[in-house]
Amino acid sequence: MTANLRTGSDFARLSRRISAAGLLDRRPGYYVFRIGLVATLFVSGWVAFFAIGDSWWQLAIAAFQAVMFGQIALLSHDLAHRQVFRTRRPSEIAGRIAGNLGVGMSYGWWMDKHTRHHANPNHEDLDPDVDPDILVWSKDQARASKGVPRFIGRYQAFLFFPLLTLEGLNLHFSGLRAVAKPGLRARRLEAALLLAHFALYFSALLVVLSPGKALVFFIVHKALWGVYMGSIFAPNHKGMPILSGDTELDFLRKQVLTSRNVRGGRVVDVALGGLNYQIEHHLFPSMPSPALRRARPIVQRYCEEIGVPYHETGLTESYKLALRSLHDAGEPIRANRRDAARA
């Protein structure tokens, strides 16, 4: 019992160091600049869209807006974690504007899902991000799989990035499904904002573009947005230990051992919205994203002091690890198929 209590206090000692460094303080100036810049670029993209008119050059705008949708989703993520505002009400108002109206993704649905992920990262029973709905994330899930996951699971490492082209549509569909059922907070407001988003989006496409170009714009935009969103989140936990059942890990170890940081400069920080510092983000979800870089050496040194592995790799290597993990997870399905073929 004494050892467990001592282990449980590790996070408290780290938290005091982080607080003493001022890394949990609000950063209003940073977020005013970031929100203003993203909003300006987003609006400018649509101004260019209307200025260019019915042209195949619009595919460049589709690619640009895929990136902007990703950046707005990242802002919605920061708002959900109260990195921008300290209290719930302004966070929810801004989050619904960014998420529902801005990119057509339900803020309330995503916040509930993401909160459960943070509470139990990479836990195959409790983390919705490792539900075997399409892909299997562990060999146990592969052995128990049926239907689509079993069909895809054999070659899921090769299909992972192609499947990400559908992630944008999945985010839209999940949001619409969430507002169609009772239980979601402010469900009518979220539904109204989602419908407003889709009405404005499709009206713009059909007014400016011919039907054929509108369809191609839609496909390119949603596919690239999906790949971008998946590429932001894939390096963080995929390929790290999968937990199951009851675990005796304390909060610090549960967060650190299941997360992976991605090395890189300012470009990587901007592209991944600071989530490349996944270990620090999971330990301190309300820490403003620009402080994560400064928190990294403090957390890394502390993990060395207490003997907790701190995993960090480059961006390309992180994708390799994620794909290797997916391939390994699907092995029982391939083995079963080989056995059936020999029989």
pLDDT digits (tens, 9 = 90+) for 174-200: 999 999 999 899 999 999 999 999 999
For the stretch 109-150, pLDDT in tens is 999 999 999 999 999 999 999 999 899 999 999 999 999 999
Block residue for tokens 């573009």: 209
For the stretch 232-242, pLDDT in tens is 988 899 999 99
**37 has pLDDT over 90:** yes
Q: Which of 284, 315, 163 is nearest to 227 (CA)?
A: 163
> Within 13 Å and on the Cβ side, how many CA atoms surround 334?
13
Residue 248: per-residue pLDDT:
82
Average the pLDDT over 143-161 and give the result.
94
Residues in the chain: 343
Using pLDDT thresholds of 50, 70 and 90, give the confidence band for residue 337.
confident
Higher pLDDT, 86 or 301: 301
**What does pLDDT average to over the chain?**
93
Contacts of 263 (CB under 8 A, 6+ apart): 276, 312, 313, 314, 315
Judge whether 330 and 156 are in contact, CB under 8 Å.
yes
**318 has pLDDT over 90:** yes
Using pLDDT thresholds of 50, 70 and 90, give the confidence band for residue 6.
very low
- What's the CA gap between 74 and 69, in Å, rounded? 9
> Within 13 Å and on the Cβ side, how many CA atoms surround 151?
4
Kindly tell me the sign of the dihedral angle through the C-alpha atoms of 295, 297, 303, 309: positive
**290 has pLDDT over 80:** yes
DSSP codes, 213-227 = HHHHHHHHHHHHHHH
Residue 340: per-residue pLDDT:
67
